[in-house]
Structure 1
């Protein structure tokens, strides 16, 4: 039986609690929320499971060494005290990522990564008169060096490529939403597949796909071709397939409608292609529809979730655009819970609806707000009268 060890899953600002909940539901132990990360414990099989199933994690890191560090030379020396043969061979390839937040280091993260690379290469050169090569794109081992004040944590990156690269998206529009953020938005909305779902400005279909995967309990990264841990010295292929098969057996079928609209035929084509790549065509319908000319055509409670333009790249009247969103929702979408994310705090005031929730999030470098509107059947006043009677 393999032993438990500490791991850290990184995420987007604002999704830490969502990720912690995901980890608990998967069976993680010792779950602790940090800033843009959640730490937890589990065994090797759980590390595989976390990479396959987590929707809001960017990377799953396995710390192998922590030490106090004073400066760049101190870092170089202490990296050479690690038993690197346990993790890689002299003929292996490796890559280093570094994050530095310390007054002791006047250099940037890129320099720290280079210094760390030299320390590991020299470790092997001194012992074997040969050094492993660096391969930034497809390394056998990806190493992460994190320096916070005087504490350095050296970790192995079990994910390899960022986990937002699900493997289903071949076609994108101008500003595609990150898959991890899209999944986080769906989970924050409370949608679980128990009602209809509409993305009225679906672009390349990422939100639709993440929603369908949640509704049907399909593992987030089931379409990925590779994880970093598959090149590790202790990789257990039988264990990996056992874990993957167990997750696949938990897939269910949601019978509610999941629909995407877009007024651009090119976006509809891209979304349709991505939905097909994700093997979700039977669950998602993508339609050439201008949201502003639409009405709700499905019966029953509906979650509407979208990522409208913020005005960063489009030369349009954003105040009029957001007013149009509010007017369309009021006239055409009763009985809906509406969520959308935007960085345009000024334009959102023109929606003309009262928010019932506001959650701060990041979309890339943009500070955003994720808002909820409750569209009642009939007016809010009528709703209140019905509740009072």
Structure 2
């Protein structure tokens, strides 16, 4: 058995190149991008490192076999033949996730059920006991991917989705996904080279992810557990070595990360989350209405925020987005302002022409991540203030 093996990292639409770059920088080989995924090769230690350090990965899967299937009986037979006793104890528990792109197989939950049946039947026949199913905290999480007639069976080394970093102890209405927040900051080009602001910070996710990026803190340092920790071959000494090596690369940050929100109750939750992540010394937040604010310094500023879309949070879209544009023009020169929205109509009311527009998804909502460059000087300010016609 070769030391390096193939793995697949799942990500969000639009983050494939970001994740590929992360994996290359960490030392992966044979990195190739797909749609919402990146394949790569590495050894056991690299699998631990990818889970610990990747900011834009949702799952790190380890494929163990690939086969052709044409019927549900084929699936059951092939899965039954896999030596599952090598991957989990008979008294353990399992969960199965399935993704299906096939004319023959159309119901992913049924595929999950048939897979589970094959595994527990094998244990019953060979060990005399059927493992339990535990959808929340299984000993082994298994991923089935069917593309037409090709079935790939993988072990899920992450366990729960990697967006669950472990620091979010207080929730807010319509919170932004941690992987999405990190990816937005990375797409903006901000790495800690200047101040960063989130003027509608909610529970503080964008601020927290920004601080971890600026200080090069491993993304999933605060997680309580990864899936691979329950595997029979888990090497705790190797994992601790990987973690210690990653922590040696943490760096100082000499600028400001700050946020605001007009809801004091929301800010209390943000403070709890920031404290849970041990990042209070890098992040400051205050109660403030963005539309009554001005930039605090003359230094360059990056702004990354997630305003209401009138989807999960109700808002007067025309008034809100017009106020965003007016506030940026009035008080935020020498600023790169980035925001994500699923409301294409709302962008028409900002009154600024975006210099970039990137298609992403926030959950199931097709969105745009747009950049407004607020220059210093009247000529450029006038140019920025021209009425913007939406680009196709």
4+ runs deviating over 6 angstroms: none
Partner residue, 2:318: 319
Distance (Å, rounded) in 2 between the aligned partners of 1:21 and 1:102: 31
Q: CA deviation at 1:283?
A: 0.2
Q: Give the distance between the partners of 1:135 and 1:313, measured in 2 at CA.
A: 31
For residues 175 and 134 of structure 2, the distance between their equivalents in structure 1, rounded to whole angstroms, comes to 28
CA deviations on 1:195-254 (whole Å, 9 max, x unpaired) are: 000000000000000000000000000000110000000000000000000000000011
Pairing 1:288-327 to 2, within 5 Å after superposition: 288-327=287-326
Deviation at 1:128, TM superposition (A): 2.3
Q: For 1:342 and 1:220, locate their aligned partners in 2 and report how far apart those are by CA, in whole Å.
A: 24
Map 1:42-191 onto structure 2 (within 5 A).
42-106=42-106, 108-191=107-190
Cross-structure match for 1:331: 330
- Whole-angstrom distance in 1 between the partners of 2:114 and 2:305: 44
- Looking at structure 2, the residues matched to 243 and 383 of structure 1 have their Cα atoms a distance apart, in angstroms, of 52
Alignment match, 2:282: 283
After superposition, residues 217-296 of structure 1 pair within 5 angstroms as 217-296=216-295
Q: Distance in 2 between matches of 1:16 and 1:322?
A: 29
1:163 positional shift? 0.4
| TM-score relative to the length of structure 1 | 0.96
Distance 1:279 1:208 in 2: 12
Measured in 1, the distance between the counterparts of 2:64 and 2:44 equals: 14
Tell me how far 1:382 sits from its aligned partner.
7.3
Shift of 1:383: 9.8
Deviation at 1:94?
A: 1.1
Return the offset for 1:131.
1.8
SS at match of 1:351: coil
Q: Structure 2: which 5+ runs fail to align? A: 384-392
In structure 2, C-alpha distance between the alignment counterparts of 1:256 and 1:339, rounded to whole Å:
19
- CA drift at 1:89: 2.2
Decide whether the 8 Å contact of 1:377 with 1:383 is kept in 2: no
Range 38-47 or range 298-307, more displaced: 298-307
How much has 1:3 moved relative to structure 2? 0.5
- Equivalenced residue count is 383
1:293-312 deviations in Å (ceiling 9; x for gaps): 00001231110000000011
Contact 1:102-1:147 at 8 Å conserved across structures: yes
Equivalence map 1:1-12=2 (5 Å): 3-12=3-12
Structure 1 counterpart SS, 2:39: strand
Partner of 2:378: 379
Residues of 1 paired with 2:6 and 2:286: CA distance? Answer: 46
Separation of aligned partners in 2, 1:216 and 1:381? 33
- SS of the residue corresponding to residue 350 of structure 1 reads coil
What SS does the aligned partner of 1:56 have?
Answer: coil
180-189 or 133-142, larger mean C-alpha shift: 133-142
Shift, 1:82, TM fit: 1.2
Is the 2:51–2:60 contact (alpha carbons within 8 Å) kept by the matching residues of 1? yes
Could you report, residue by residue, the CA deviation over 1:162-203 in whole angstroms, capped at 9, with x for unpaired residues?
A: 100001101121100000000000000000001000000000
CA distance in 2, matches of 1:212, 1:299: 21
For the residues of structure 1 that align with 2:240 and 2:355, how far apart are their CA atoms? 44
Alignment RMSD, CA only? Answer: 1.4
SS of the residue 1:61 aligns to = strand
Query: Per-residue displacement from partner, 1:84-115 (whole Å, max 9, x unpaired)?
Result: 12211222211111111100114x11111010
| Kept in 2: contact 1:90–1:124 (CA 8 A) | yes
* C-alpha deviation, 1:2, in angstroms: 7.5
Aligned residue runs from structure 1 range 331-350, under 5 A:
331-350=330-349
Q: 1:7 to 1:291 in 2, by over 3 A?
A: same
How far the C-alpha of 1:15 sits from its partner, in A, is 0.9
C-alpha distance in 2, partners of 1:126/1:68?
25
SS in 2 for 1:74: helix
What CA distance in whole angstroms lies between the structure 2 residues aligned with 1:314 and 1:171? Answer: 18
Q: 1:306 to 1:42 in 2, by over 3 A?
A: same
Deviation at 1:258, TM superposition (A): 0.3
CA contact (8 A) 1:2 1:44 kept: no
